[in-house]
Amino acid sequence: MLTRNVRRLQQGLTAIDNGVHQETFAPPPSSPISLDGPKISVRTDNSRYVEVILSHATGKLPTHALAIIGSSSAGHIYPIHGILYAAHCATFPFPAGSLSASDPEPRRSPTNHRLSLSLPLVALALPHPESFSAINTFLYTENPVCLLRVLLPLPDALPDMFTSNLTLDTVAMQAALTTHLAATYNSSVLIDSARKTHGLWSNLISLGIAHRDLWKLVDLAWEVLLMSMEIQMRRTC
């Protein structure tokens, strides 16, 4: 049973990965889609579903609709691939039976011929809703530059600090970023970035995410911010 489940997770993740890198596949839902009056239906077993309108039905289609409770962007729903979150999030609250072997099938309206997809709705309360979009994007793209730009006020030359495959040299980056932030920004900017980083960290704890590179980036941002503020405090003493 365990071997079969691991194989299924790997197959699903490979299919999503194909969608990220090949233009013939649908792009990953790394950003929320805005639904104009989303249709939420309640079925006989009290499960809730969201009708999502599709522009096309190619590639690995989303399997769930995720609503972040308390989010300031009300009306925005994240279409996600459940298998990706099952692989990375130990405490993700999937509705019972929603992680089935078969994906949701799109339907075409007989009146306006639009494609729609009925996705089980997952309502999720997080300690820092504003930073969830950055987590969602990283799980799909694993792009360290995009995540660090959310957490830190960064120089345009940041990608030069990465190798060609975007792996991290945290020792060199920590020193370079600390020097840049301490010399460029005042304490209020750094404190605001620290709040964002702590908020994203609290979301990772809440979701039970154990992605090594994601945690490495959050640790890097936190250490850079603490060291930058310490340098500024020394200058004012």
Q: Which position has the token pair 């490979």?
A: 14
If asked whether residues 85 and 155 sit together in one domain, one would say no
If asked whether residues 117 and 156 sit together in one domain, one would say no
Task: Say whether 19 sits in a helix, a strand or coil.
Answer: helix
Residue pair 232/182 in contact (Cβ under 8 Å)? The answer is yes
Domain boundary among 74, 106, 125: 125
If asked whether residues 119 and 8 sit together in one domain, one would say yes
Domain boundary among 74, 103, 125: 125
pTM of the model: 0.76
DSSP state of 43: -
If asked whether residues 154 and 45 sit together in one domain, one would say no
If asked whether residues 22 and 42 sit together in one domain, one would say yes
If asked whether residues 14 and 114 sit together in one domain, one would say yes
Percent of the chain whose predicted confidence (pLDDT) is above 90: 30
The type of residue at 35 is: L
- What are 74-131's pLDDT values in tens digits? 446 788 888 899 999 999 988 877 776 566 777 777 777 777 788 888 888 889 988 9
If asked whether residues 192 and 161 sit together in one domain, one would say yes
If asked whether residues 146 and 182 sit together in one domain, one would say yes
Residue 169 lies in a domain: yes
Q: Which domain holds residue 222?
A: 135-236
Total count of domains within the chain = 2
If asked whether residues 98 and 195 sit together in one domain, one would say no
Q: How many residues in total does the chain contain?
A: 237
- 225 pLDDT exceeds 90? yes
Q: Which of 60-69, 92-101, 203-212, 216-225 has the lowest mean pLDDT?
A: 92-101
Backbone angles phi, psi at 65, to 5 degrees: -115, 125
Domain boundary among 125, 153, 168: 125
